[in-house]
Structure 1
Amino acid sequence: MGFAYRIGNQQALHFVTATVEQWVDVFTRPAYVEILLDSLRHCQREKGLDIYAWVIMSNHFHAILACREGFHLSNALRDMKKFTSTAITEAIAHNPQESRKNWLLWLLRPRDTEGQPTVRFWQAGNHPEEIRTEKFFQQKMNYIHLNPVRAGLVERAEDYRWSSAGDFYGRPGLLELSYWRG
């Protein structure tokens, strides 16, 4: 991974993206979205993760994140991806309603990395972009919240369930948000 895509300041705000291998539409099933949300909640409680904005699309998610003092954003993202890789793959395998089960399990099958077979659910990297200005923060937050609108899933950002956009319009949020005081 190139230097441009590394998290330098572990406590700074970053815009990050995590994409499912092969851009597979896994998050069309609420059960799989809930696994990701539960993992993010765990990272908030146990790994010092602060979430400022987020959206989960069918095959990727975007977020503005930071970690509190004493924690590392890289570690929180690594642990979240590791846990959800296994948990979502197991959920697919045990879901009797999953019509794409064989195909998904084939795509996400374990691959041998340095002598250890590992599930390959997420693409490598998070493409972090450090946020240093309020203008860049607003630009990325708008990008996140308008993603479902651009994809034609909703007409208004706040109507998309798997996003923090509704939090800013009075809808109870699915994740606890932090607010930037630029």
Structure 2
Amino acid sequence: MPHYHTSHLRNGRFSEPGRIYAITAVTHCRTALFHDFFVGRLLIDELRLAEAQGLVTSLCWVVMPDHFHWLFQLGQCDLETLLRQVKSRSAKTINQRLQRSGRVWQSGYHDRALRREDDVRDFARYIVANPLRAGLVKQLADYPLWDAVFL
């Protein structure tokens, strides 16, 4: 059963199990925490945990210096619960790693539900190409913080 809009979903959007979503979440004050490879891996561990728990089936993700993009098929949960869990758990481990306290994430997130006719493979390629477009690397193989089931 769909979970009709919660405070972080855009107006008219609902969280629908089985639907494919693209999510973007940004660090607090756009702090480039993920320039540190090991800090980026802590976030990736949380994305993988969400999949292991059956909350999502990840299609691709990329962790950029100050945000991440994640394309997944939603399991039997709602977007708000999923993102709250990933952001909360990753904030705790990131703060422990950096021996600091305070906010890691901006509140909220951007979500896009892909329509049936959207080409998921092309959307995944667009997401993982973010480091190339941002000029962080010259070839994707040189960027360590991404994965995709299609590539």
| Superposition TM-score tier, normalisation by shorter sequence | 0.7 to 0.9
Matched residues in 2 for 1:142 and 1:24: separation? 25
Q: Percent identity at matched positions?
A: 26
Determine which of 69, 77, 89 is the counterpart of 1:83.
Answer: 89
Determine which of 125, 129, 132 is the counterpart of 1:142.
Answer: 125
Unaligned runs of 5+ in 2: 1-6
Q: From the two aligned structures, give the one with the greater strand fraction.
A: 2
User: 1:167 offset after TM fit, Å?
Assistant: 6.2
Unaligned runs of 5+ in 1: 94-104, 110-119, 169-182
Does the alignment pair 1:163 with 2:146?
yes
Counterpart in the other structure of 2:47: 40
RMSD: 2.3
Q: Give the TM-score normalised by structure 2.
A: 0.82
Matched residues in 2 for 1:55 and 1:7: separation? 24
Counterpart in the other structure of 1:175: none
Partner SS, residue 135 of structure 1: coil
Answer yes or no: is the 8 Å Cα contact 2:9–2:111 preserved in 1.
no
Q: Give the TM-score normalised by structure 1.
A: 0.69
Identify which range, 40-49 or 15-24, moves more after superposition: 40-49
Counterpart in the other structure of 2:114: 131
User: 1:3 offset after TM fit, Å?
Assistant: 5.1
Q: Deviations over 1:155-177 (max 9, x none)?
A: 22343221125961xxxxxxxxx
Larger Rg: 1
Q: Deviations over 1:41-81 (max 9, x none)?
A: 1111114221111100001000112222x333332221111
Answer yes or no: is the 8 Å Cα contact 1:11–1:71 preserved in 2.
no
Matched residues in 1 for 2:10 and 2:113: separation? 10
